[in-house]
Amino acid sequence: MAMKRTNAIPWWGWLTWVLMVVLGILVYTHLPPLVAGEHHRETPRFLMLYEPVVMLAIMLIWQGLWRIDPKRRNYEVFWPTYRYIGGMVVVGLGLVYSTIAGHVVFHLATIRFAPTGYGIMFMLIANVLPRLRPNWWIGVRSPWTLSNEDSWNRSQRLAGQLGIPTGILIIVLAWVLPPHRTIILAIMGPVILWVLILLVASYFFARTPQES
């Protein structure tokens, strides 16, 4: 099967990882052995290299997830979407790492850039969710979507429709909320609300099949 010979991460995902490795090396060489963190706690500089390692681990896991999915055959239908989402996850992690590096090394006020980028990527990923077919790893997965194909299809469509306003809300909150710890609310709040709406909707979609 041709899909077996296809890389599950697109080239631009791998390029993002390479750039983060280079950034990690540059950051490491420009930092003292101990870096001042929150509450004046000192952190060993080698910990700044952990993010590229985490990114690589996720990329390798992404290569194998579809192979152990009981619904593996469905990936042939949405394989480009699976690769696209994998690449976007890598880009998202790279954005976070770049933000941290800019803040630690150059003392740049970049704390709001990461959730802003997340909002944009959330919209881009949500937009392709309607292309997914039933699987155990990505998309709106609930007991009702995994056992009812009509609920699956309608839930993914709703996820895509709600993705744009949710992403916009993330961006707005990123610039309205106070920085530092409270900025995480810009991401977690809208995403949790999005998930809850979809879980409830998937239940009702399963109970009320769409008329053909």
The pLDDT, as a whole number, for residue 1 is 43
What's the pTM?
0.85
Q: Is residue 122 part of a domain?
A: no
**Looking at residue 110, what is its pLDDT?**
66
- The answer on 145 and 87 residing in a single domain is no
Q: What is the pLDDT, as a whole number, of residue 185?
A: 80
Query: What pLDDT, on a 0 to 100 scale, did the predictor assign at position 51?
Result: 84
Q: Is the pLDDT of residue 41 over 60?
A: no
With 90 as the cut, is the pLDDT of residue 138 above it? yes
Confirm whether 1 is domain-assigned. Answer: no
pLDDT digits (tens, 9 = 90+) for 169-202: 999 998 888 866 666 788 889 999 999 999 999 9
What is the average pLDDT score of the chain? 85
Query: Which residue, of 110, 128, 151, is where some domain finishes?
Result: 110
The DSSP secondary structure of the chain, one letter per residue, reads -GGGGS-SS-HHHHHHHHHHHHHHHHHHHHS-SEEE-GGG-EEEGGGGGHHHHHHHHHHHHHHHHGGG-TTGGGHHHHHHHHHHHHHHHHHHHHHHHHHHHHHHHS----TTHHHHHHHHHHHHHHHHGGG--S-SSSSS--HHHHH-HHHHHHHHHHHHHHHHHHHHHHHHHHHHS-SGGGGGHHHHHHHHHHHHHHHHHHHHHHHSPPP-
Residue 153 within a domain: yes
- Least confident stretch, 27-41, 64-78, 100-114, 142-156: 27-41
Compute the average pLDDT of residues 74-95.
94
pLDDT digits (tens, 9 = 90+) for 105-132: 666 566 778 788 889 999 999 999 999 9
On whether residue 126 sits in a domain, the answer given is no
Q: What is the number of domains present in the chain?
A: 2
117 within a domain of the structure (yes/no): no
Q: Give the pLDDT confidence score for residue 114 in this predicted structure.
A: 79
Q: Are 179 and 108 in contact (CB under 8 A)?
A: no
187 and 150 co-located in one domain? yes
Residue from 88, 74, 72, 164 nearest 126 by CA: 164
Q: What is the pLDDT of residue 26?
A: 83
Please report the pLDDT score of residue 2 as a whole number: 47
Structural domain boundaries enclosing 50: 8-110
Is residue 104 domain-shared with residue 146, that is, in the same domain?
Answer: no
Per-residue pLDDT tens for 43-64? 566 667 788 899 999 999 999 9
Q: Are 63 and 6 in contact (CB under 8 A)?
A: no
* Structural domain contains residue 129: no
- DSSP-derived letter for residue 70 is T
